[in-house]
Chain A
Amino acid sequence: MAGPVYIADEEAELTSVSLDGLCLLFHAPSGMTHIVATPAPEILAMLRSGPADAAELLRRLSAHYAFEGEAAAGALAARLEELESAGLVRRA
């Protein structure tokens, strides 16, 4: 499985405030604020350790989390596309 490889901006470019169950992200390069829900903050955190495609991200997430359901790979790919269209991740 060779999907697109994603990369996140450096953490210094993102100001993050966690609210109850939600997370506010101010993305300095674009000047935009995003309201994200799980699993977006978790995905961004996992991308900090380097570029990754969906399969690699799933491996990294698996080290910390268990998943519900069997469609984890497809759902993760959809989440990555959302983050890309929001400008929070980009293709490496």
Chain B
Amino acid sequence: MSGTDDKATGVQAFVPTRRTVLVLGAAAASTVVTVRPALAQTAGSVLNCEIPVPGPHAGGNFIAQDGSLVAPGTAGAAPPLARPLRGEEVRNLLRTGATPAGVDPTSAQAYANYIRRLQAGMSGFTCYASLQMPR
């Protein structure tokens, strides 16, 4: 296990140079197991945590459809939300596309993409990461 010669440096290492048989598996078989990081919270607190859209670092900025921050008033971009979204609303938005109450449905995808792009240290990240925990 300590050898480094055959260690792949990225998923590109999985593109083969010759044609091999790829088993896609039965539709019901799972191929992904997620390890919970230490910041996992209880289900109750996860659903009540809040994500400001955008965070205080970007107050006033609009949000483009791809989730990036753009200048206020940019055409086609979504305005900041007047209130933070609760964890449960975010979970439903990301999983089913359900628009939270009071949110413009045509802007919901922009907000969802903003949340997906949250990084460690940004307001709302811990809430978002916790929502992704499989139960």
- Residues of A with Cβ closer than 8 Å to B? 11, 14, 16-18, 23, 25, 28-42, 44-46, 48, 61, 64-69, 71-72, 74-79, 82-83, 85-88, 90
CB pair A82–B118 under 8 Å, yes or no, is no
Instruction: Tell me, in angstroms, the Cα distance from A45 to B8 when the chains sit together.
Output: 13
Determine the main DSSP class of B at the interface with A: loop
Q: List residues of chain A with CB within 8 A of the CB of B23.
A: 38-39, 68
Interface hits, B1-22 → A, CB 8 Å: 6-16, 19-22
* Residue of B12, B21, B32 touching A83 (CB-CB under 8 A): B32
Interface hits, B21-68 → A, CB 8 Å: 21-28, 30-37, 39
CB pair A39–B25 under 8 Å, yes or no, is yes
With A25-B11, A65-B20 known, 14 other A-B pairs at CB within 8 A are A16-B10, A18-B14, A32-B36, A32-B132, A33-B34, A45-B11, A48-B11, A65-B16, A68-B21, A68-B22, A72-B24, A75-B24, A79-B25, A82-B31
Q: List 14 A-B contacts (CB under 8 A).
A: A11-B11, A14-B11, A28-B120, A31-B120, A34-B33, A34-B35, A39-B22, A48-B12, A65-B16, A65-B19, A67-B24, A68-B24, A78-B28, A86-B132
Closest 10 CB pairs of A and B: A65-B22, A75-B24, A18-B8, A41-B14, A78-B27, A33-B35, A35-B33, A37-B31, A45-B11, A86-B32
